[in-house]
Amino acid sequence: MSESDSGRWPQRERRGGAERRGGDRRSNAKSSKGGGQEERRQGSRRSGKERRDERAWAPVALETDAVEELTPEEGLLLAARGAREFAQAQYSKFKVGAALETVDGQIVTGCNIENATYGLTLCAERVALVKALSEGHTVFTRIAVVADTEAPTPPCGPCRQLLWEYCGDLEIVLGNVRTTSGHHRLSALLPLPFDRRLL
């Protein structure tokens, strides 16, 4: 063994001893710390009954008067008002919503879809009707039409013709964004209609 070698070995031993002693200190500290935590956990542990606040289990009175059930007509008008929000009326700024009720109580909605040529604009009533027919519905009971006007906004002539063709003497419920504004039968809005009976 050379002199330089003999000088390195004691250093390694000392370092190794220090590492072992340091390791012992860390393990002792960890064990003492862990023991303290365990003692604290044991000392502060409470039962579920102590932690529970009994006030959280007290019954709460529901304000049943605040929620009013809608009539079928009100529900139909509400659906038409919701459909009106989707109207594509960038030219006229006149938004219309329609809700068509099927014989089994389902509601199909529509809104007016305008076109730059104007002549290709689709009314809300026709959109709702075409949607309903395309989904397999063939028997209808009434339709609600809603616009933001004080006076009732009845279906236009082409809409009356198509509604008569596919829905017969339909009940027409007219309304605005706040209330109902009128009730009509389609036969009163379209007297002497042209239909398949004349073909």
Catalytic residues: 125
Question: What distance, in Å, lies between the first and last C-alpha atoms of the chain?
Answer: 124
Sequence letter at residue 144: A
Instruction: At 192, list the tokens.
Output: 């002497």
In whole angstroms, what is the distance from residue 150 CA to residue 130 CA? 28
In whole angstroms, what is the distance from residue 42 CA to residue 189 CA? 83
Q: Residue for token digits 């009976």?
A: 197
In whole angstroms, what is the distance from residue 198 CA to residue 1 CA? 125
Please check whether residue 155 is in contact with residue 170, taking contact to mean a CB–CB distance below 8 angstroms: no
DSSP tag of 11:
H
In whole angstroms, what is the distance from residue 112 CA to residue 114 CA? 6
In whole angstroms, what is the distance from residue 93 CA to residue 6 CA? 99
Sequence letter at residue 167: C
Please check whether residue 127 is in contact with residue 153, taking contact to mean a CB–CB distance below 8 angstroms: no
